[in-house]
Amino acid sequence: MSDGRLEAIAEDLAGELLSRPLLERILRRCVELLGGDAGSVSSVDEAAGTYRKEAEVGVTCQPGRVFPLSEGMTGEVVRRRAPVRYDRYADVPGGHVGESDRATLRGVIGVPIEWHGRIIAACVVFSRVEGRVFTDQDAELLRAFARHAAVALVNAGSHEAAEERARLQAAGAERERLLVEVQGLLDKGLVDLNAELEQAERCAPAAVTGHLRRARAEAESTMTEVRRSLGAAGHSPLEDRTLEDALRAELGWARRARGADARLVIAGAPVPLDPALAEHVLSVAQEAVSNIVRHSGASTIRLGLVYNSAALALLVQDDGQGFELDAGDQRAGLGLRRMAELAGSVGGSATVESVPGWGTIVRASFPYQRTAGAASDRIDVLVVAAQPLTRAGISRLLAWSGQSVAVVGEVAGAGGALAAYDPDVVVVGPDVADQADAVRRISAAVVAICPAGDQHAVAEALLAGAHGCVETTADGPTLARAVVAASRGESLVPDHGIWAGRLTSNANPSGLTARELEVYALLGQGLSDKMIAARLTIAVKTVEKHVGAVLRKTGCRGRAELIARGRRAG
């Protein structure tokens, strides 16, 4: 079959963006390519050790059923990680074709569909023609088609994931709308209730004013807690609006709750804020405004943001009843401690000034750049190593490094690496079985420790997705520097010149430079130019130049073809 014919069939796959119909189309095209009489296609989950029959043509193969990878033609294909042929289907170990079909089938061939060294599906073609024997040429043709099929399946998976994200976002937006509506109704009801209780307190005899006062305080407390609970159930207020807009919304709530004149004042040229910093500024403002609504009886509230050269200042002022700054005053003590903790966690500070009868001022400062000793700069590390002594040694090296690194746990294998922890970086030891597979299964940033001088192990770890690698001869500071770099999305690896040419298992007939080979390998992981630039600590424009050079030298027409070529051979 001509290359043009194969490409035309492969292009047909690009028109289908749903995984299940795409698998059916892949199967039909495989049968057509080889002139077969029947076929089946299965999705493969190597981590679980199973495969699922997805579709069939001209034969009964129990679609929808899940089988272990130790059985059937698909299991044999995954075991060998290459095309598998039999002259008669009866020779297939543990086949699942029904008895009525089994007697009619003659030649059979199966091919893996791989992506980045991982088998994601397998296609099997049957012939009922007596004497029909599938050849090496058939196997190569089917394998060439499988490369196109892998790209199509990954694209379909990305499309489905994007649609699912859009669906969840739409559902979240509707949930947020309902929460805001419910909050508004509760706010109005509780404000009205509070006003009635306040009026009743003025007219009631002394014997019941205490009860009314407590009821009013309880209504105010409930109002605040309802708002907090509803806010926690929704998404962050800063996901879809600016800090200034979120603060205006906070003051809007205060106006509804107290009938106060609440205004936002902004001074200085606004500076883009780190999202985590903006969240903390908003949290401190919410705590301050909540305290005003609940306790102050204020008629005016002023909230100010002052963008200074090195820090953002937050001021919250009211004309309420104020209070004595007494350490025993639980109302002031708890609120101040919470605001101080929130500001301190990002390297800032918060203070309160209050005079009875004159109101209260909250002042908080948030530096744009966190100080080196700030608690939020701590990097939480999970150590994964097979042997207890290895885990203890890695942990001790990190503890002695002098960096702001904290080991939050030690586990023996990657399977449970993230189940009970939420680390910033995972360090994978050299004694972990199939280190590259362990790296591939971890979603956090990874630093792999590889045997000294083992260039292949370094290349395998980086291809699997590790942010950085150090050798077993590295000292504590070197390991810590690799961890810090990985936490920032950067890479620290052994000398590039030694192993760059081994970043793929293929030869280098195109004459790529060492840096181009690095870019080639990272493209194969599906990384964007921006991510590659961060990984290699070079400019995005430089990455674009290297990508263009790789495309030109390899003769690829685009990134998709480059990624497909760059996948590792099974």
**DSSP structural state of residue 292:** I
306 versus 158: which is more confidently predicted? 306
Which positions ≥6 away from 416 have C-beta within 8 Å? Answer: none
pLDDT confidence of residue 225? 61
Could you give the percent of the chain with pLDDT greater than 90? 16
- In this predicted structure, which of 125-134, 197-206, 278-287, 439-448 has the lowest mean pLDDT? 197-206
The span from the CA of 225 to the CA of 217, in Å, is 12
Mean per-residue pLDDT over the chain, rounded: 78
Highest average pLDDT, of 31-35, 336-340, 394-398, comes from 31-35
Grouping H, G, I as helix, E, B as strand and the rest as coil, residue 41 is strand
Contact 137, 6 (CB under 8 A): no
pLDDT confidence of residue 219? 72
pLDDT at 500 over 50: no
pLDDT at 469 over 50: yes
| pLDDT tens per residue across span 149-207 | 888 888 877 777 777 777 776 776 677 667 666 766 676 677 677 777 877 888 888 77
The span from the CA of 325 to the CA of 511, in Å, is 74
| pLDDT tens per residue across span 58-107 | 888 888 889 999 889 999 999 999 999 998 888 888 888 888 888 889 99
Q: What CATH fold (topology level) applies to the domain 378-566?
A: Rossmann fold (3.40.50)
The span from the CA of 95 to the CA of 34, in Å, is 21
pLDDT tier at 116 (50, 70, 90 boundaries)?
confident
Torsion-angle region of 308 (φ positive above 0: left; ψ -120 to 50: alpha; else: beta) = beta
B/e letters for 303-323, b = 16+ CB within 10 Å, e = fewer, are bbbeeeeebbbbbbbbbbbbb
311: part of which helix (H) or strand (E)? strand 311-318
Could you give the percent of the chain with pLDDT greater than 70? 77
The residue extents of the domains of the chain are 1-235, 242-377, 378-566
Q: If you search the block for the tokens 């810090």, which residue do you land on?
A: 484
φ/ψ (deg, to 5) at 92: -70, 125
Q: If you search the block for the tokens 């807009």, which residue do you land on?
A: 245
The span from the CA of 209 to the CA of 75, in Å, is 80
The span from the CA of 417 to the CA of 199, in Å, is 59
What is the three-state SS of 480-511? HHHHHHHHCCCCCCCCHHHHHHHCCCCCCCCC
pLDDT at 374 over 50: no
The span from the CA of 290 to the CA of 268, in Å, is 26
pLDDT confidence of residue 109? 94
CATH class, 242-377 region: alpha beta
pLDDT confidence of residue 207? 79
Pair of tokens at residue 345 = 């966690």
Strand partners, 448: 428, 469
Q: Which CATH number fits the domain 1-235, given the four candidates 3.30.450.40, 3.40.50.720, 3.40.50.1820, 3.65.10.10?
A: 3.30.450.40
pLDDT at 357 over 90: no
pLDDT at 555 over 60: yes
| pLDDT tens per residue across span 504-525 | 444 455 667 767 777 877 776 6
Please name the residue ranges forming H helices in 204-274. Answer: 206-233, 243-258
| pLDDT tens per residue across span 201-243 | 888 887 788 788 778 777 766 766 665 555 544 445 676 678 9
